[in-house]
Structure formats: structure tokens, C-alpha cells
């Protein structure tokens, strides 16, 4: 049976799998990206991992992979990893990541996750939406007319660094008042510690807020308000039918979604807010989106349309 | 020679013209929209005006128009004027605006202006940009992959109502801290009067600011800062290669562009700001964009590609 190798390359770890054209997924253990060893070592590590996965594929399916898809951070075209501040590479051609002859296609990490949510995830009934994973950082995939959109040069989607309180706190990026500095999981933990002197993960801060802890409630409230301001701007500018929220904080459920819905609606007086919906593919979104890229490389651009979420996530 | 009837319908006045496929423009006197007489009267007035313009066309070119294009406010599809709070209509089919048999096509007023700037105006070398007319109000045309984009339901582009200072001044729309409430021409005039007790147009406020008037300088500075915050968000989210600024305040020239460039750059630490460029079609943008819609209706979707700005604006 034909299949593709799919790889989601993050700053600290990468996650791979084999995905058949009918959406049967064989996930593999992730491994460290080891960016501290330098860009060339990361490229070599990715290439070795792709080779290993292809080896598993040959054992299992009796043939070489039909394509390879890779989700990578930074500025990316479908054929070149142009730049990543995080990893440090510049202009790496897609072929450098692949030891064999299989055609390869690259995608931006967050937009590739957005592609998966768009094709068979929480956004599958929406052509125009925002995929917003809230984790250590915040970046978005702007989905426009059914396709993730990176702007003129691929720098788009940086909603985490849009100013929400323009005279507010300084962000690690050097700008002032960025969404990320209030609402990312790491910001919630950091701001709680600064306010209370206590250490807690973002998840614990949410639990503390629900149980009435004043400092936790203030910090979580400010995170929600920052998200509401930012989503109000997004809504007014791009009129999405939907916002799909993922990442660690996206899993907070009603504790996040209920007040966020309320505050977003309060910020919009002359139009309805878009629906807010949890992401459905979790941490697999990037790898599954990479599989779609692999099938595009293989000349099967409509692969994925019939894939069922249950099958895709069955192996998780 | 074949031609189309083009009409730009605003809240208070409408502006029409005849445009041949080679971009020869015959502009006509504008006339009041007379929205105070109700939506049905406005539709009838538009229809009568289109009929008159077609009559001029028959006299001049010896044939009926090949198509009719109309730029209208509110929520619009290419075949229906869905809703306008300003005019009060709901679900008016394009044919209702046209007395004869010519095929007609509608477009959103600001996005139609953006279409014209995109095809043969200041944005003709850019596929991904923002067209931002700053007049009595502020709305934008988000141009994505060469086409103005209205979002899921056509409500997009409302950059004038994105929050820049989320705990700031109340906007007429009921929201708080909207860009428009600081940076539109009417906001600049209103805020100057409130601060100084003196009456002046926005243009005069800019002149006063340049000549050192403290109140005028403060008000104009805040308008520029509001624009910088808003354009920083836009840039981070959508990575435009260009921002085309039009409208009355857009004609302020270096007094606006120089400090705005500086402040936008100061709000962006990890990426370059997009180029800021004045619009090139002035108040004719909507009518010229409507001509493109007319040619689309006539089955000539690539009309406009060879039109020269000088010819287009010659009759102004």
C-alpha cells in the first residue's frame, strides 16, 4: 500500500509518522531536534529520521514512500526552508531533508497544523477561519478561502506579537504589549509567579483561578481579556466564521471558552462574534498536516478529504 | 466602441462614469444618494442614474453598455446588495439597479476601490497589501493573493473598528478604543476641538500641528500612533508587502507618512515594516473599480490590466 513519511519539526522535538492515502496513521516516537548542535546537525538529524521512517515503511508496506511532507518553523516555501531564527538554518532545499528519491514538500509548522484542522479537523466545515494554538508561545494559521495564508513573504500569522495593550508589558521579542506576553501558557505561569510568589504551571493557574485564588484569577482574567481584544481585531479585519483554539491552554475547556466567548462578544457591538471551537487534532496536527503535504508532493492533492479523525488519532 | 457603466454609491453621494475596455474614462457629475428618502428611493435613484449614463453611452458610442458595475456600501455579494445599515436596504438583486439588459456586478465600496488600486493603482505591483482610505471613517480593503478579501460573510476589512487602546475612548459604534475614533479625519477635527476649544478641519489640524500648535500636535500625534499600532497588528498578522493609504487624510503627504513610517517601524522589532505608499486613484478609485466589475460582468475579467493611470484620471 502506498504511504507518505510525515514529519513535524519543532524547536525542541520532532514527531514523525507514516500515513497511507486512506488516512491510516502509524505514529512513531518523537525525538529531540537538538538545535544546540547547529543547523547542519539538525538537517542531518531530520534526514536520518526520514530515512528511518522510510525504512519502517518499506518493511511494513513493501515499497518506498510516495512522498515526504515536513512541517518546519520559520519562513518556508513549499520547496525551501528559507530561515528559522530558532534553528538557525538558511535556504535549505527540501531535498536535503530526504535521503531517497521521494518527492518532498515543506510547510510552515503552525500553518501545516492549520491545514490539517482545515481539511479534516475542527475547521473542516469552514473556509475562512483562524487556527490559534496557545502553548509556550502563540502563533496562528490564518485560513483564507480554504487555504492557510502566510502573507507576502511567509511572515504572517504572528498574532502572538500583535499589540493588545500598546503601553503594557514588554515582551521578550522587544515589542510592547504583545498578546503572547499575557496569554501564552508560559506567560500565565510567569505572571502568576510574579504576582503571587508561587510557582505553578499554566494548567495549575487555571485550576487555582477556578477555585477562587485571587492572584490566579487576575492573571487568567488578563490572559482571557488579551485574547478577547486580539480576537476582536482579527474578527473585524478578517471576518472568520470560526476560531479553532488549540495548544496546551486550548485544552482548558469551558474555563477558557466560556469567559472568552463572553468577552469577545462584549468587544463587538455591531457584529456577531465567530464561533470558538477547540482544536480536534491536538499535538498531532502538525504531523498530520505534514502528511497532507507529502501527498501533495506525491501528486495526490486531495488526499485527506475523506480521512476520519477517529482513525487518524487512533494510534495516538 | 464597447464600454461599461460604472457607479460608486456612497452614503451621501454617488459618482458615475463610462469606461471603455481600453480604459478611456468619461466621468459624470456626482449626485446625492438621498438616503433620507429611504432604501427603495435610493435603489430607484441608482437605477435612474444608470439609465441616464447608459443613454449618454448610446449617444457617444452608438451602442448599449456591455456591462454595469456598482460599488455599494455594506454587505455585498457580486449579485446582491445584502445589507447596508447606512442606506437601509436588504437583499437587493443587482438587476434592480439596472434598467436595461446589461449584465451587472456589485462590489463592496472600499474593496472595489482596493480592486482598482490593485489592478492599475498604487498596489499594481503587489499581490498582498492593505488599501486604507482614511476619511470621515476608516475601513480597509484586505488584498490577499491579488484579490480583495471580505472574509466569511463579507464583513471583513473593518480595521477602523479594531481596538488600538482597549481601555481608551468610546467610539460611536459602541466599542472602546477603535482606530477610527482616534485617526479618522472627523476624529482628528473632533478631538482637536475638544482639546483646544477651536474649530478646524482635519487638514487644518495637520497644518497647525506642523506649525507647532500644541493641541493640534497632540491630536495628530495620537492619530499617527493609533495608525501605527493598528498597522503593526495588520503587518504581524497578514504580512503585506505594502500599505496603500488614501482618503482625505492620506493626502497629508510627508506630514503623515514620515512619522507613521517611523512609529510603525518602532512597533516592529523582529521584522521589517511594509512600505507605506499614497493611493494613486484618489476619489475615483471606487468608480474605476466599479468599471472593472462591469467588465467582469461583461465577460472581460482581465480588462484593466493595461489601463494607464494617466488616462484614467485625465478626465478628473
- Closest residue of A to B132, CA-based? A237
Chain A contact for B181 (CB, 8 A cutoff): no
For residue A239, give how far its alpha carbon lies from the nearest alpha carbon of chain B (Å). Answer: 5
Q: Is B82 on the interface with A (CB under 8 A)?
A: no
The partner residues of A245 in beta bridges, in order of sequence, read A132, A278
B149 touches B140 (CB < 8 A)? no
Listed by number, the residues of chain B in 274-303 with a beta carbon closer than 8 Å to a beta carbon of chain A are 274
pLDDT reported for residue A306: 84
Partner residue opposite A237 with nearest CB, options B153, B158, B175:
B158
Fold of the CATH domain A3-114+282-314: Nucleotidyltransferase; domain 5 (3.30.420)
What's the mean pLDDT in A271-290? Answer: 96
Q: Identify the pLDDT of residue B313.
A: 79
Q: Point out which residues pair with B72 in neighbouring strands.
A: B108
Given a cut of 50, whether residue A28 has pLDDT beyond it is yes
For B237, name the nearest residue in chain A, comparing CA atoms only: A157
Instruction: Among A155, A157, A233, select the one facing B163 at the smallest CB separation.
Output: A233
Check: CB of residue B60 under 8 Å from CB of residue B19. Answer: no
Q: Give the C-alpha separation, B33 to B15, whole Å.
A: 9
Mean pLDDT value across chain A:
95
Task: Round to whole Å and give the CA distance between B202 and A98.
Answer: 60
Cβ contacts (< 8 Å) between B139 and chain A: which residues? none
Instruction: Number of A to B CB contacts under 8 A, please give it.
Output: 132
Inter-chain touch A174–B269, beta carbons under 8 Å: yes
Architecture of the domain defined by A126-278: 2-Layer Sandwich (3.30)
How far does B35 lie from chain A, in Å, by closest CA? 20
| Residue A310 reports pLDDT greater than 80 | no
Q: pLDDT at residue A220 above 60?
A: yes
Average pLDDT, chain B: 95
How distant is the Cα of A67 from the closest Cα of chain B, in angstroms?
27
Nearest to B157 by CA among B125, B114, B94: B114
CA distance B128 to chain A (A): 6
Which band of pLDDT confidence, cut at 50, 70 and 90, is reported for residue A85? confident
Residue A162: pLDDT over 90: yes
Nearest chain A residue to B236 by CA: give it. A158
CA distance readout (Å), A214 to A188, A191, A211, A310 = 14, 13, 9, 40
Whether A175 and B140 lie within 8 Å, measured CB to CB: no
Q: How far is CA B165 from CA A184, A233, B228, B250, in A?
A: 21, 12, 12, 22
* Ramachandran area for residue A233 (φ above 0: left; ψ -120 to 50: alpha; else beta): alpha
Q: Find the CB nearest B151 among A140, A162, A238.
A: A238
User: Are A144 and B140 an interchain contact pair (Cβ–Cβ within 8 Å)?
Assistant: no
A155 touches chain B (CB under 8 A): yes
Q: What is the model's pLDDT at position B316?
A: 45
Place of cell 510592547: A176
Question: In the numeric block, which cell numbers belong to residue A177?
Answer: 504589549
**Contact residues, chain B, for A163 at CB < 8 Å:** 229, 232-233, 267
Cross-chain Cβ contact B237/A150 below 8 Å:
no
pLDDT value, residue A31: 92
DSSP tag of A169: P
Burial of B212 (0-12, 13-18, 19+ CB in 10 A): exposed
pLDDT at B147: 95
Phi, psi angle pair for B3, to nearest 5°: -155, 170
Question: Which residues fall within 8 angstroms of residue B125, CB to CB, at 6 or more apart?
Answer: none
Residue B306 is predicted with a pLDDT of 84
**Contact (CB<8Å) A142/B238:** yes
Pairing of strands A104-108, A67-72: parallel
CB contact under 8 A, B271 and A155: yes
**CB–CB contact A156 B238 (8 Å):** yes
Question: Rounded distance, CA A297 to CA A177, Å?
Answer: 40
In chain A, domain spans? 3-114+282-314, 126-278
pLDDT tens digits for range B104-150: 999 999 999 999 999 999 999 999 999 999 998 999 999 999 999 99
Residue A116 and residue A289 in contact, taking contact as beta carbons nearer than 8 Å: yes
Question: What is the reported pLDDT for B164?
Answer: 98
Given an 8 Å threshold on Cβ–Cβ distance, is A237 in contact with B155?
A: no
CATH class for domain B127-278? alpha beta
**At residue A43, does pLDDT exceed 60?**
yes
CA B125, chain centre distance (Å): 19
User: Mind listing the pLDDT tens digit of every residue in chain B (316 residues)?
Assistant: 899 999 999 888 999 999 999 999 999 999 999 889 999 999 999 999 999 999 999 999 999 999 999 999 999 999 999 999 889 999 999 999 999 999 999 999 999 999 999 999 999 999 999 999 999 899 999 999 999 999 999 999 999 999 999 999 999 999 999 999 999 999 999 999 999 999 999 999 999 999 999 999 999 999 999 999 999 999 999 999 999 999 989 899 999 999 999 999 999 999 999 999 999 999 999 999 999 999 999 999 999 988 887 777 775 4
Q: What is the mean pLDDT of residues A75-88?
A: 92
Three-class secondary structure of residue B199 per DSSP: coil
A153 to chain B, minimum CA–CA distance in Å?
A: 7
Please tell me if residue B31 touches chain A, with a CB cutoff of 8 Å.
Answer: no
- Does B127-278 match B3-114+282-314 at the fold level? yes
Q: Are strands B31-32 and B25-27 parallel, antiparallel or unpaired?
A: unpaired
The alpha carbon of B202 is separated from its chain's Cα centroid by a whole number of angstroms, namely 18
Specify the pLDDT at position A316: 45
Helix axes B185-196, B214-238, angle to 10 degrees: 150
Report which secondary-structure segment, H or E, holds A131. Answer: strand A129-133
Amino acid at each position: 500500500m502506498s504511504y507518505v513519511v510525515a514529519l513535524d519539526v519543532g524547536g525542541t522535538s520532532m514527531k514523525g509518522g507514516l500515513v497511507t492515502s486512506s488516512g491510516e496513521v502509524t505514529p512513531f516516537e518523537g525525538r529531540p531536534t537538538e538545535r544546540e548542535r547547529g543547523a547542519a546537525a539538525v538537517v542531518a538529524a531530520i534526514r536520518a529520521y526520514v530515512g528511518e521512517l522510510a525504512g519502517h515503511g518499506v518493511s511494513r508496506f513493501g515499497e518506498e514512500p510516495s512522498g515526504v511532507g515536513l512541517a518546519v518553523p520559520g519562513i518556508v516555501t513549499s520547496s525551501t526552508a528559507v530561515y528559522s531564527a530558532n534553528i538557525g538554518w538558511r535556504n535549505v532545499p527540501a531535498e536535503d531533508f530526504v535521503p531517497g528519491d521521494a518527492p518532498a514538500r515543506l510547510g510552515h509548522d503552525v500553518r501545516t497544523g492549520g491545514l490539517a484542522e482545515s481539511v479534516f479537523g475542527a475547521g473542516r466545515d469552514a473556509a475562512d477561519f483562524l487556527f490559534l494554538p496557545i502553548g509556550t508561545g502563540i502563533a496562528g494559521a490564518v485560513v483564507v478561502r480554504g487555504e492557510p495564508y502566510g502573507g507576502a513573504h511567509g511572515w504572517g500569522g504572528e498574532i502572538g506579537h500583535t499589540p493588545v495593550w500598546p503601553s503594557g508589558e514588554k515582551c521578550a521579542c522587544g515589542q510592547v504589549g504583545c498578546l503572547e506576553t499575557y496569554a501564552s501558557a508560559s506567560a500565565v505561569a510567569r505572571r502568576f509567579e510574579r504576582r503571587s510568589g508561587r510557582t505553578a504551571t499554566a494548567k495549575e493557574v487555571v485550576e487555582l483561578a477556578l477555585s477562587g485564588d485571587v492572584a490566579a484569577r487576575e492573571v487568567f482574567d488578563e490572559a482571557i481579556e488579551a485574547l478577547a481584544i486580539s480576537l476582536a481585531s482579527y474578527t473585524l479585519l478578517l471576518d472568520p466564521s470560526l476560531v479553532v483554539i488549540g495548544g496546551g491552554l486550548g485544552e482548558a475547556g469551558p474555563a477558557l471558552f466560556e469567559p472568552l466567548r463572553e468577552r469577545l462578544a462584549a468587544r463587538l457591538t455591531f457584529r456577531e462574534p465567530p464561533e470558538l471551537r477547540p482544536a480536534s487534532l491536538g499535538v498531532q496536527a502538525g504531523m498530520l498536516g505534514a502528511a497532507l503535504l507529502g501527498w501533495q508532493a506525491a501528486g495526490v492533492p486531495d488526499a485527506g478529504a475523506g480521512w476520519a479523525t477517529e482513525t487518524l488519532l487512533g494510534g495516538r
